[in-house]
Structure 1
């Protein structure tokens, strides 16, 4: 059964889903392309696969389809400014990472320093879905920054971070904490 969905109600409902914040990067002809993305998730452990969604009309979408490889920076709370900058439409491509601390992955893409973890990916599938492309990538390298533990979160158009509870899925299930 299909229900007509009001665009505003759809956006509002999705805004109630808290998500982590990532920056996805690629490089084409020596030029960095980057986008802030909350539509990111793991897909499979064997093989290690992740996915990210990219809008069809974005500059990033064309670049990542051409390059076939990309990086994911899972942002720490300290990456808030970089996230906001790289979410701005129409920003200049050249020099867009000049004020964003980053390093280069083995595949050449930029990975943001203000992150909890980094992934290097090779596209295995690109699936058209509505106004987006679902990019599925095999993870070819991964790293974590153990000394940082405050993730950047996005909820109802606002940034936040986690407030830890003493409970976890394990303690709740086992009746502890």
Structure 2
């Protein structure tokens, strides 16, 4: 087992971001596209997403302070989540591309419909969708943890999921998992 750490004079253990990234790559995650509709329409691939509570239903997503999505969620106060299916790797790559055209044009040629409660683009072919209202946010390092009250959910029947593990996209089939 290899590790990278060294104590500084204050007793903290500074970590190199690359080392943490390489270590966290060993944790399989689902792949989502966060989205905001309306005046701040935007989409962003994210795997820092989790359920927080069932009663009341809450989820969280973590977004870098420097990301366009950070400003979009903060301004809108509502967001959508499309949990991507196994055949949606290209969508994941599209919304992760920092060089793509922003604004409504980033959704051209992509099947989606506006969420009933948030107007956030919900992507066709996803395995599940959530619509959320921002309830809390916490700054932590270079990211903000956004917590949303779940307003609405829907899901596809027996859909295969898209995972990210060890720097690569993977697929999971619910009939064999």
TM-score (norm 1): 0.87
In structure 2, what is the equivalent of residue 136 of structure 1?
A: 147
Check whether the contact 2:30–2:83 (CA below 8 A) recurs between aligned residues.
yes
Q: How far is the alpha carbon of 1:120 from its aligned partner? A: 0.3
Residue 93 of structure 1: how far off its partner (Å): 1.2
Question: Is 1:45 paired with 2:54?
Answer: yes
Alignment of 1:12-161 (within 5 A): 12-29=22-39, 31-94=40-103, 95-106=105-116, 107-146=118-157, 148-161=158-171
What is the SS of the residue equivalent to 1:115? coil
| 2:18 paired residue number | 8
Q: Distance in 1 between matches of 2:16 and 2:51?
A: 29
Per the normalisation by structure 2, the TM-score is 0.87
Tell me how many residue pairs correspond in the alignment. 165
Checking the alignment, whether the CA contact within 8 Å between 1:117 and 1:142 is kept in structure 2 is yes
* Mapping of residues 153-172 of structure 1, within 5 Å: 153-162=163-172
By how many angstroms is 1:129 displaced? Answer: 0.7
Task: For structure 1, list consecutive stretches of 5 or more residues without a partner in the other structure.
Answer: 168-177
Distance 2:92 2:176 in 1: 29
> Residue 78 of structure 2 contacts residue 132 of structure 2 at CA under 8 Å; is this kept in 1?
yes
Shift of 1:37: 0.3
Q: Which runs of 5+ in 2 are unaligned?
A: 1-10
Task: Determine the C-alpha separation between the residues in 2 that align with 1:155 and 1:120.
Answer: 26
